[in-house]
Amino acid sequence: MICGVDTGGTFTDVVDENGDVVKVLSRRDDPAGAVAGGLGGRRPDLLCHGTTIATNALLERRGASVVLITNRGFADIIEIARQDRPSLYDQWADRPEPLVPRHLRLEVDGRLDAAGRELEPVGAAPDVPDEAEAVAVCLLHADLDATHEEAVAGDLRARGYDVTASHEVSPEFREYERTVTTVVNAFLRPVCAPYLARMGDLADDVLVMTSAGGLVPARDAAELPATLLLSGPAGGVQAAAAAAATAGFPDAVSFDMGGTSTDVCLILGAVPAPAGGRTAGGFPIRLPSLDIHTIGAGGGSIARVDSGGALVVGPRSAGADPGPAAYGRGGVEPTVTDADLALGRIPDRATFGDLGRLDVEAARRALDRARVPAQGVVDVVDAAMERAVRLVSLERGVDPSGLALVAFGGAGPLHACAVAEALEMAAVVVPPRAGVLSALGLVTSPRQRELVRSWPTPGEAEGVGPALQKLAAEARAAVGGGDVEVSTALDCRYAGQSHELTVANVDEFPDEHRRRNGYARPGAPIEVVALRARAKRAAHLSYDDIAPARQRQPATGPAVLAEPDCTVWVPPGWTAEVGGGGAWILRRSRS
């Protein structure tokens, strides 16, 4: 038996290889207990898991006490950061406090230059304070030559410390981002390792989804928990890409609206857009990732009137406990779910997971008590999600009118038509089992490993080909035998630029630069700054292996289409037809 388990902020979703679905409330203080409850005593042969454990620990600062060891004179790099400000015109906006306080930043002698030549021998690793639970080691130019870093890390490991070394986590240039990523990994490891070990007690084999959209063994995930910050959303994007292609829309935007947040990602040619990193909790994470944009707007997002009299929705969420007022679990603040229910977009007979029937009167009382109109709540949250979709389409140089919006998550199909209409998108696709699509994406995703290496001579591309082949061989070995697909890419930029674009080869760079930035520079020298390789081993199941949940019938709006795991709202002027793979295809009526 193969099961996919996605732990969200409100619900934990379980889907097995037969397409059977279980939905239980998440447990903030015991996420593993919610997984066990969803499995209901079953022990899968393979458990594919998407988890929020790393994200929650980082956002809530519930990680280890970390010591940072770096070169003499560089202890403050994680505080100095970059010259850009979090909010350009907000003088009160601050960066997040560093995860390592000043007294736990230690320095070591030794210098290598950018060519790997030793300018000064490395000194012995310093004594580590007793309060340290983990150690992060990040030395200059370790992305190019890890000799000094290996010596310091080896010394500390011999003393029994849990050590994260930057060349093992993020061997890419840019010292600030590499240092922060290393520190975040050290901060998360003592939290994530016990949780993932407990997952191992629930199944014979456990694979965990990474931010890059591939599965890795739980033991590897425990070593590199910084790769898990988009674990759950990445599974949904993978399934959304497959569902959109099956429905005839290889170009799309995934739109995953759950109980706590909404995640969107551009999909072109049935391939989710990649990114070289992301920001989590205000910290830059320099690791391969899908280019997912997240906003704090979901079904459980709380609505209120701020001090200026404006209606605000989110980012604070009612979560699973107490949840929206309609859940009948003690919640009294109005949420998006309460507004949808009050507007009749969710049937009052609906049940969510292991909840009983929703309480429409409780929802109305919560809205009235806060003096927020249900339609206003929906309009505000729809506008926020429109901005998110605009960011990953128009602001990436892609016209949304040629894209479908793939709506999933418990609340996505309730709000997708409004977002698609505002951006004049081609259609809305609602796949079968849309409410648990992220869990479905877990069982249909490949084992995958992404490797990145800095290129030492940006202005000289000689030797790039053999270096890519070597990196590809390393990636292939990392995913083991079987049917393995390997691809390579380069991070390139025009000489003098500060940031780069990822392309398959140097010749593609001018066209990609024109698409993303509106212009190219013919004849300008192009630099290669990093090499990438991705190895994928075929998934155990494909999206097409799991049959549609049930037969669907066309509908004309206004209509409410209720399913066990989600509800679809078809507004006036829209029609819903059945398309490829059993998906609903929603379009504006022609008139």
Confidence of residue 29 (pLDDT cuts 50, 70, 90): confident
What is the DSSP code string of 17-31? Answer: TT--EEEEE--TT-H
Q: Name the class of domain 2-59+192-232.
A: alpha beta
Q: Residue 590 above 80 pLDDT?
A: no
The reported pLDDT for the residue numbered 532 is 96
Q: Name the class of domain 448-537.
A: alpha beta
CATH pick for 237-296+378-443+546-588 out of 3.80.10, 3.30.420, 2.60.40, 1.25.40 = 3.30.420
- Mean pLDDT, residues 54-65 taken together: 91
The reported pLDDT for the residue numbered 25 is 86
Region of poorest pLDDT, from 83-92, 375-384, 414-423, 441-450 = 83-92
What tens digit of pLDDT does each residue of 133-169 get? 999 999 999 999 999 999 999 999 999 999 999 999 9
Mean pLDDT of the chain: 91
Rounded CA separation 230/226 (Å): 9
For 72, other C-beta atoms within 10 Å of its C-beta total 13
The reported pLDDT for the residue numbered 85 is 77
Contact assessment for residue 434 and residue 457, using Cβ atoms and an 8 Å cutoff: no
Supply the pTM of this predicted model. 0.90
Confidence of residue 501 (pLDDT cuts 50, 70, 90): very high
Q: Residue 459 above 90 pLDDT?
A: no
Q: Do domains 2-59+192-232 and 448-537 have the same CATH topology?
A: no
Q: Where are the domains of the chain?
A: 2-59+192-232, 66-161, 237-296+378-443+546-588, 301-373, 448-537
For 525, other C-beta atoms within 10 Å of its C-beta total 11
Confidence of residue 533 (pLDDT cuts 50, 70, 90): very high
- Mean pLDDT, residues 214-235 taken together: 94
Long-range contacts of 492-497 (CB under 8 A, 24+ apart): 492/526, 492/527, 492/528, 492/529, 493/526, 493/527, 493/529, 494/521, 494/524, 494/525, 494/526, 494/527, 495/458, 495/459, 495/524, 495/525, 495/526, 495/527
The reported pLDDT for the residue numbered 427 is 97
H or E, element range at 175 = helix 175-200
Q: Residue 180 above 60 pLDDT?
A: yes
Q: Residue 330 above 80 pLDDT?
A: yes
What tens digit of pLDDT does each residue of 249-293 get? 999 999 999 888 899 999 999 999 998 888 888 899 999 999 999
The reported pLDDT for the residue numbered 350 is 60
